[in-house]
Amino acid sequence: MPSIELKLSRSNRTYRPSELIEGRIVTTSTSSISHQEIRVSISGAVNLQVRGGLAGMVESLYTVVKLLSIVNSSVVIKSSGKLAPGTNEIPFSISLSNDGKTGYQRFYDTFHGGNISIQYLVTAELSRGYLQKSLSVTKEYIVECDKGFTSEQSIRANVVSFYITQDTQKHQLMPELTIGHFRVTGTIPTECAISSPLCGELIVESSAVIIRSIDILLLRVESILAGERIITEAATVQTTQIADGDVCRSLAIPIYVILPRLLVCPTLIAGPFSVEFQVSISITFESELSKLYSKSDLKTPMPWVVLETLPLRIY
């Protein structure tokens, strides 16, 4: 049975909107393959999905999906003909830019979220006529838009200081934390390049209660305009533990978080949707109650967990 494979020229499959997508279509067959045409198509779209339970009473009965097209183009690589038996490699090239065509929206970076996803696909299809099944293969490619220049001085200016005490917490704490004293300070940037690590430091100045763990949480906040309502959902994208156990007091603990590329994107605020991010410092203290309950939730933190959440602009 004949097969078809799509190989892109770049191993990381990453392109910018002004570039060409190049590669090879590889067909394998024990006999010759007659075809009407061989076509390569590219597509890109924003998928907005409102899951049941996030919408209203009526909408919660089903999933609402909206599709915003970004790019949709195709080119014929070979007209009707015949491919020889064995392995055939057919080079192709197709422009990713819209070239001023109407119906195209601006490009966004590839992103796979919970309710919002931005995906780009390239498809190679070998049409064999009405009596034989066409051969096709689809592969995802990554789009990264050009970023504006951000000076090192501007990045340093967006590093903020924070402190965490029992007085900064809005939820109920266990008595040991309320009566005792703890103070945690540090610095962390509120802006970060998507290809760079998030770096800062944290110092436990004092704590009357034993610390079990210190974690840095990367949060994603997705908002979708549904009718006259804006539906927002926050979720934890990644948890990075920076300390395990009762740390030394007055010791600077480095914060070093690598952003997961496909699960984050530059902070995006468009008309019908937005994708924003936050960084949360989570400190978990030793408690007998913690053994009886599951992990803490950001919406309802447990009494033995303290949090400090800051906005994070990714560019």
Q: CB of 212 within 8 A of CB of 258?
A: no
DSSP at 208: S
Q: Once rounded to an integer, what is the mean pLDDT over residues 246-252? A: 94
Give the pLDDT confidence of 106-140 residue by residue, as tens digits: 899 999 999 999 999 999 999 987 778 889 999 99
Residue-range domain boundaries for the chain: 3-143, 152-314
Per the structure block, which two tokens stand in for 51? 């899951």
Q: Which CATH number fits domain 152-314: 1.10.238.10, 2.60.120.10, 3.40.50.720, 2.60.40.640?
A: 2.60.40.640
pLDDT at 271 over 90: no
Phi, psi torsion values for 124, nearest 5 degrees: -110, 130
3-143 shares its CATH topology with 152-314: yes
How would residue 219 be classed by pLDDT, with cut points 50, 70 and 90? Answer: very high
Tokens 């994107």 correspond to what residue?
Answer: 265
Which CATH architecture is the domain 3-143 placed in?
Sandwich (2.60)
pLDDT digits (tens, 9 = 90+) for 61-108: 445 678 889 999 999 999 989 999 999 999 999 998 755 454 446 899
Cα separation, 156 vs 138, in Å, equals 43
User: Chain centroid to CA 126: how far?
Assistant: 33
Q: Which of 209, 208, 231, 206 is nearest to 221 (CA)?
A: 231
- Alpha carbons 292 and 290: distance in angstroms, whole number: 5
Q: What is the pTM of this model?
A: 0.82
pLDDT tens for residues 5-36?
A: 999 999 999 999 989 999 999 999 989 888 89
d(C-alpha 192, C-alpha 138), whole Å:
33
Give the DSSP H/E element, type plus range, for residue 176.
helix 175-179
Please give the single-letter amino acid code of residue 88. Answer: N
What does the pLDDT look like over 152-168, one tens digit per residue?
555 555 899 999 999 99
What are 54's two structure tokens?
Answer: 């996030």
